[in-house]
Amino acid sequence: MKVLAAPHFDGRLACELVYANLERRWRARTRTDGRRPSSEKWRWQRIPTLSEDNRSAEVSLEKLLISTADDTWANAIPTARGLFDDGGRKANVDLAHRSGATIAFVELKWASNHPAYAAFEIVGYAMAWAQARFRAEEMGYVTDGTLRPVLATNAARWCVLAPASFYAGWDAEQLARFAASLDQGMNSFFTERLNSTCANSQGLFC
């Protein structure tokens, strides 16, 4: 894939472009109808049941994991409709785990898509989280002066969790360089924009 082979791929620029697109959509929405996002967004929740209309390998695994996990885990965290397209498709973070002050947000992959797609998915969620944090009051995520818990952490980690077979056929060195650039981009974005930490010391790909 050309983006991986590009010697000067800039992870920070990628983050800025994703964030700028989110801001463009936010401004367009507030101009047209002035509505806030749904109060269901960025809510810590556990949904172990499998719906009839979505029985993909990833969703089945997600539901299995959450049904056996304790309450430090959540799944299907709603972020924003139309995050990755203009059709209003739901975009949910597959899994999240709270450990002390850190929350890890996980994009779970098994057979669908590919590593670069998964990486940009998790970056999209990270930028949507950053926007929700930055515009928390405007978006209705502050109640009685308290920020919604899933947004309150100052140490968020963003990663893709997948089996080794998911990366088969991809150049490991190029993929590592690509992931490192995105990690660095998210780290600098979070530090400069939110005075927060992107706790990706273990890398983008789990």
- Tell me the pLDDT tens digit for each residue of 114-169: 999 999 999 999 999 999 999 999 888 999 999 999 999 988 999 999 999 999 99
Do residues 128 and 107 lie in contact, with contact meaning Cβ atoms separated by under 8 Å? no
pLDDT of 82 strictly over 60? no
- What is the rounded distance in angstroms from the CA atom of residue 82 to the CA atom of residue 115? 21
**pLDDT recorded at residue 1:** 55
Contacts of 202 (CB under 8 A, 6+ apart): 157, 159
**pLDDT recorded at residue 107:** 95
- Tell me the pLDDT tens digit for each residue of 16-57: 999 999 999 888 877 666 666 677 789 999 999 887 676 688
**pLDDT recorded at residue 88:** 55
List C-alpha distances in Å: 184 to 9, 106, 127, 176, 206: 12, 18, 14, 12, 16
> What's the pTM?
0.89
- Name the strands in the sheet holding 92-99, side by side, starting at the edge strand that comes first in the sequence: 73-78, 92-99, 102-108, 155-161, 197-198
